[in-house]
Structure 1
Amino acid sequence: VVRQDCVSSEFLAEDHLEAVGHTCSLQDASGYENPSEIANLISAEKFEAALAIHLYKGGRLLQGSRIPFGIIFGGTDINEDVKHEEKHRVMGAVLEEARFAVAFTEKMKELAAAEWVCLYDYYRIPQDTENLRLFLLICGLRRVKDPLYLVDVFSEWHRREPHIHLVIIGPAVSWGFFLLVLIYVYSHRFILEIPQDDLHAAVKRCFAVVNSSVSEGMSAAILEAMDLDVPVLARNIPGNAAIIQHKVTGLLFTDPQEFVQLSKSLMNDLTLEREIVTKAKAYVKKHHSWDCEREAYQNLKSVGSTVK
């Protein structure tokens, strides 16, 4: 059980979480009889998130928890506890509440998915429907990319309009922060990593690509989205503003509320969407095409040369 935006486990606390500034509290599940005891502990200590090892031994104590939590499968829960009807039922109920589940091997993941239907298709992007709106955020999971910046407003928006989805795709750069992201992306979808071809296919299927970074040099995800004829909504920071002209080649937002406002205006204005996509494609072709960049690099003659 943890506080201050962190999660903990016997082996993750020191190496991954406390190392990046979180405060963790380890609790032995055998010392507690029922969820109400853990609920009292959470309330008294003001814990903000939790991570349980073993789906039954630890997970059952977090049922009905008022804080987000995740589960790490052990061996006993998958290999032995599933054979007992009541334990199987409890573990399934825990998985329905958990924000994420971690399996250490592909085999363990397959065994778990075979037992509990709720684990199927969790990481797949929702299939196309007439009203579906997918917003895709592509980034390495580290604080400078700030992938949680829009989660609260997206959660509220998703509750009001269930066809709105946020999908986050990216590798875990910092494992402590990665676990934090898994806990808080509870109304949306998260995909750790996918091949580039699949990523481009996902971009083409989404409504817009989102960038919420605190700092950027030049976002490859933004340029690729522009090249793939997909609108971009990006946080208004110098790196993004350098390649996006607001309401011309993309949309720049200064806070989460403005993001929602701009997104709705884009969804309701097909003319604006087409103009942005067309001008963004032309911008990439003119300033960032492979041919132009290859020629520019080939023509570099000295350290003092500059390329525009």
Structure 2
Amino acid sequence: MDKNEQEVLKEETSNRKEIHKDNKREEEVEDREEQRSCIVLVGKHGLRETGNAATLYRLRDHVISGSYTCVLIDPGDVNKNDPASEVISIREQYKISAIVGIHLYRSSSVLLKCKELDIPVICYFGGTDVNENIRDPQKLNTMTKVAAAATYLIAFNGDMKRRALSLWPFLKDDTIKILPQAVTVEPDQGFECYSWIRESEKSFYSTVATTSCVNNENEDDTPKGNKSHPFHAVADIEYQNLENQRKWLFDGRPKKNDLSFAEVEKCPSCSSIFNLNAKNRRLPLPEEYNPLVVLVAGLRPVKDVMYVADAWSEWQGRQGKGKMIIIGPTLDDDYTRNAMAHARRLNGIIITDKLSPTACQAVIFNATVVINTSLSEGMSAAILEAMALGKPVLARNIPGNAAIIKHGVNGLLFNTPEDFVKELEHLQQNPELVETMTTNLLNYLHSNHCPEMEKKSLLQILRDTETIATNRKAM
């Protein structure tokens, strides 16, 4: 064998060794991936603009940060005849430690099949579960099966837990964990709110025959008011006031207050709640939009978005200015069609299609007040986002809202449409109240809705679930 042949042989041998090493490394990586526990999250997330989707993607980030693999399943995409097939497919690739559902009823088909597959089940109560679905015997029966199958159930607040224990007395108290939703906001700094409102008005009053903007009348009767009315300074509290509140929120612990809504550990830091760049300023809107009242909700009956519309329209007609904007995706075609027809007959109110989360937060940031009119809520993400952006909140007095808002302290609650108008005027006439509530609501968020605390609590629940499953197998 000559020298050249020896060199070639040596090189080939070296290459084979390197290939062998690479293959071994790949096998080790694959082995590690197989060994990593997988958490499957089940919930509707096709529309990124809904509260459910925001919750699921935030929980996914928490799960991944805990060194788990995470897979999302939308129950609407699952084969109804074989809801277990997708989970079985995932289990062929990963070691599934638990399946976490959002809403007992909506996720029930997948969760119950997972129980049959001996996969531990965890499920969050939705507001619809404990407020609406319990009225339907068939849905209640299905939710009862899920509740019985779950290792842990998670409630956003104490009221939801109490209702669940009343509905299902077989549940043990320590089976239901209270874990308030966290909130993070990052409004789009380039979003032109004024231009968007103008375009939304034109679109709303034009004849567009689509599901998301239904118009059953050919009309161009945009209500116009020209009355002059002195408007108090609430809507003109400038960004620096919010910036002052943020200084102590980010640079140090908040001051003590009497807001003790949730029994959770205090967060070490909540700077991730509000990632607003100093360049982002709330640009003053024309006086005709003062006050700017914003309602963010998917358009379906339980959100009752037209609840205060007539009272607002009458008030707005007297003032000659102000705008109410309802933002949200169509979730019920008939309801949306009727709501839009109703709104077109009123003063100062428009309904617009969904916005991206960051654009929607930019609109909230420019609002005078954010409102919630729902018949029932678990925990409104829109209310939490408004609070994180330093906005006053006016919410219907229902258990889910009252769990977040202490009337007159960190927000305002109303019982009737007339009460809504009264509280709105009270808000306008008392800028000092707005400033005090802003301080209090930021304190409240810091103590109760911190992403780090939510992550820590969720990961502990997952670890406890794994321990319980391991102990059961060892018995």
The reply to whether TM is greater than 0.5 is yes
The equivalent of 1:287 in structure 2 is: 448
Q: 1:117 and 1:259 mapped to 2: Cα distance?
A: 29
- CA shift, 1:214, in A, is 0.4
- Structure with greater proportional helix content: 2
Unaligned stretches of 5+ residues in structure 2: 1-201, 212-218, 223-282, 468-475
The equivalent of 1:238 in structure 2 is: 399
Q: CA, structure 1 residues 100+182, in 2 after alignment: closer, same or farther (shift >3 Å)?
A: farther
For these two proteins, the number of residue pairs brought into alignment is: 193
Q: 2:423 and 2:309 mapped to 1: Cα distance?
A: 16
Task: Using the aligned pairs only, state the percent identity.
Answer: 35
Q: 1:214 and 1:117 mapped to 2: Cα distance?
A: 32
The equivalent of 2:410 in structure 1 is: 249
The answer on 1:142 being equivalent to 2:300 is: yes
CA contact (8 A) 2:205 2:221 kept: no
The equivalent of 1:60 in structure 2 is: none
Q: 1:117 and 1:253 mapped to 2: Cα distance?
A: 33
- CA shift, 1:251, in A, is 0.1
Corresponding letter in the other structure for 1:288: H
CA contact (8 A) 1:216 1:239 kept: yes
Q: CA, structure 1 residues 104+178, in 2 after alignment: closer, same or farther (shift >3 Å)?
A: closer
The equivalent of 2:322 in structure 1 is: 164
Equivalent position SS for 1:299: helix
After superposition, residues 1-308 of structure 1 pair within 5 angstroms as 101-103=207-209, 128-130=285-287, 132-186=290-344, 187=347, 188-300=349-461, 301-303=463-465
Which structure is larger by alpha-carbon Rg, 1 or 2? 2
Structure with the greater relative contact order (CA < 8 A, sep ≥ 6): 1 or 2?
2
C-alpha RMSD of the superposition: 2.7
CA contact (8 A) 2:296 2:382 kept: yes
Corresponding letter in the other structure for 2:376: S
Q: 1:99 and 1:215 mapped to 2: Cα distance?
A: 30
Q: Kindly provide the CA deviation profile for residues 24-74 of structure 1, in whole angstroms up to 9, marking residues without a partner as x.
A: xxxxxxxxxxxxxxxxxxxxxxxxxxxxxxxxxxxxxxxxxxxxxxxxxxx
Q: 2:308 and 2:332 mapped to 1: Cα distance?
A: 19
Structure 2 length as normaliser, TM-score?
Answer: 0.38
- Runs (4+) of structure 1 exceeding 6 A deviation are 116-119
Unaligned stretches of 5+ residues in structure 1: 1-95, 106-115, 120-125
The equivalent of 1:78 in structure 2 is: none
Q: 2:330 and 2:210 mapped to 1: Cα distance?
A: 15
Corresponding letter in the other structure for 1:245: K
Corresponding letter in the other structure for 1:133: P
- CA shift, 1:162, in A, is 2.3
- CA shift, 1:303, in A, is 4.7
